Amino acid sequence: MFIVKKIGKIPVFTAGILIGLGVLGFIKYSSGSRHSTKETFSGPKHDFTLNALKNKDNLVSLAVIGSGPAGMMAGVYGARALRDTVIFEGDKPGGLLMDTTDVENWPGENAINGPDIITKLRAQAKKLGVFFLQESIESADLSQWPYRLITDNGTQLHALTVIIATGATPKRLGIPGEDENWGSGVSACAVCDAPFFKGRDVMVIGGGDSAVEEAIQLAPYVNKVTIMVRKDTMRAAASMQERLKNYANINIWYNVELQEILSNDQGSVTSVVIYDNREKRSDTVAIDGVFLAIGHSPNTAIFNEQLAMDQEGHILVTDRTQKTSVAGVFAAGDVEDSTYRQAGVAAASGIRAALDADQFLGSIGITKEYMDSLNEQLFVQQLASIVRDIPSFFSVNDLKAYEKSKDTIMFVIFYSDTCSSSAQMMPIFQEFCQENDDYLFAKVNSDAAQELVQHFFVHKVPCIFAFKNGELIGRCNGLMSKQQLGEFAATFQE
Ligand code: NDP
């Protein structure tokens, strides 16, 4: 069975343009290696004295950017080392594993869903005391210590150490018709979009493990899948290629490259121009959908010119550690790994990064006791007082457009400004929202959103609906205490 798991936007840790940083020594090295040599690896020399922390607010010992397996395990080890640790979950919480179905090579599991791995890791990290913030880091200034990070919500903090675990984004071909048809016939996520191609003919571009996985995810839905491989062999592991034999409707076409994607006036993909690089001939082939599986680019834009990177933008780490070219800044997972790119390896590198960060903090005299003494200056102290914004929905489209609700349970409260029970319920709902960042929340003013009221047959407010993967999974009418709200939420936990 396939579960729709798209979390909307492609993961982008959008490039905040950093002006006048005056950082020394960065450099995109031509080295393809994931470990650099000492000669090519030097960042700014900071003065790591405790004086530098005076008069700084929102201090955090360990800021982890990204919430895939690398970020989660960095969090687990950070918290276990009793470091105040915050994970910034980013635009795509959980990372690429959220788009994966069966994972058969995660330690200790015969087969497990990608999102289930993330759910377990998140719960483990949270139990150990990691703080999660559903925000992306939009800019980072590594030119001064403590390092200044700014989130997409404008939250500014000062991190004593940073672990970059921002992962990677699927690559694009850069051919005509690709951008124009993106999301309506061109996709990089079969798990998300396969159900839209029922009974149709589709292509998967690429010859690696991802291409095999995409084809297998598409096969049960579509009429025919053709894997388009540009060489005369596939790069995918033999075991992965073997799995293809179980699917009669998957074909492989070798020595072909895509040149253009064509669509009709309705914006539906109709055909592609392919180039047979053996016959040296171009042809137009009818097709309904194109799925790209041609590798990934590391999400490092905000660190350009600040950290040593290879030509593809992977952050270089050194000396068999996760240390980057800036002391106190570490990288883990696909953002630095151009070789192995496995969830298990990413998790392990997150562990290493956190151990490195802990060791670094110790070496400059930062202890838990010292951090506790800073009290009001600590970001984690402030976190408790940040009021989570509950978005308002006005139409069915608002609800549908709230793509992040997929995979995460979302509670939507219908209320009325003129109803005293609603007035009592809203602060309880807000408090519950504040204490439960595992869920998403939204509110509907029933006086202003008649379409939603009629669509969901709301006859009484307050009334709370629960959604998952865009589907209604439960509802509860009337005024509730926080405990009752918790019990209602608990009924949806697997
Ligand atoms: P890979 O880099 O391994 O493969 C990319 C594929 O895309 C290659 O076949 C490459 O061709 C092809 N390609 C690249 N650019 C183009 C282009 N412009 N036109 C046509 N084809 C192109 O990436 P994957 O995403 O497949 O895998 C990344 C990593 O993730 C790997 O380490 C893989 O093992 C792992 N993975 C593991 C899975 C699992 O274990 N279940 C599932 C998915 C991924 P060429 O060979 O000619 O360079």
- Report pLDDT digits (tens) over 73-131: 999 999 999 999 999 999 888 998 887 777 888 999 998 988 889 989 998 999 999 99
Residue 176 banded pLDDT, cuts 50, 70, 90? very high
> What b/e sequence results for 103-122 when a residue is b if at least 16 CB atoms lie within 10 Å of its CB, and e otherwise?
beebeeeeebbbbebbbebb
Q: Which helix (H) or strand (E) holds 363?
A: helix 343-363
Tell how far the Cα of 104 is from the centroid of ligand 1, in angstroms: 18
Q: Token pair for residue 400?
A: 């549908």
Residue 371 has pLDDT above 50, yes or no: yes
| Annotated catalytic residue within 84, 193, 356, 358 | 193
Residue 82: predicted pLDDT: 97
**Is the CB–ligand 1 distance for residue 243 below 6 Å?**
no
Cα-only R_g, the chain? 24
Query: Is 409 within 8 Å of 433 (Cβ atoms)?
Result: no
**Is the CB–ligand 1 distance for residue 206 below 6 Å?**
yes
Closest CA to 432 of 351, 374, 487, 477: 487
Tell how far the Cα of 209 is from the centroid of ligand 1, in angstroms: 6
The mean predicted confidence, pLDDT, of the chain is 87
Instruction: Give CA separation, 255 vs 227, 239, 247, 447, in Å.
Output: 11, 22, 22, 61
Residue 4 has pLDDT above 60, yes or no: no
Residue 166 banded pLDDT, cuts 50, 70, 90? very high
Q: Among the listed ranges 274-283, 349-358, 427-436, which one has the minimum average pLDDT value?
A: 427-436
Tens digits of per-residue pLDDT, 25-75? 334 444 444 555 554 577 888 989 999 999 999 999 999 999 999 999 999
Tens digits of per-residue pLDDT, 408-461? 889 999 999 888 788 888 888 988 898 887 888 999 999 899 899 989 988 888
Residue 23: predicted pLDDT: 33
**Is the CB–ligand 1 distance for residue 169 below 6 Å?**
no
Residue 206 has pLDDT above 80, yes or no: yes
Residue 144: predicted pLDDT: 95
**Is the CB–ligand 1 distance for residue 172 below 6 Å?**
no
- What is the pTM assigned to this prediction? 0.73
Tell how far the Cα of 212 is from the centroid of ligand 1, in angstroms: 9
Percent pLDDT > 70 in the chain is 90
Closest CA to 262 of 180, 183, 206: 180
Residue 404: predicted pLDDT: 53
Tell how far the Cα of 236 is from the centroid of ligand 1, in angstroms: 7
Peptide bond just before 146 cis, omega within 30 deg: yes
Q: From the CA of 207, give the closest atom in ligand 1.
A: 9
Tens digits of per-residue pLDDT, 282-336? 999 999 999 999 999 999 999 999 999 999 999 999 989 999 999 999 999 999 9
Query: Is 432 within 8 Å of 462 (Cβ atoms)?
Result: no
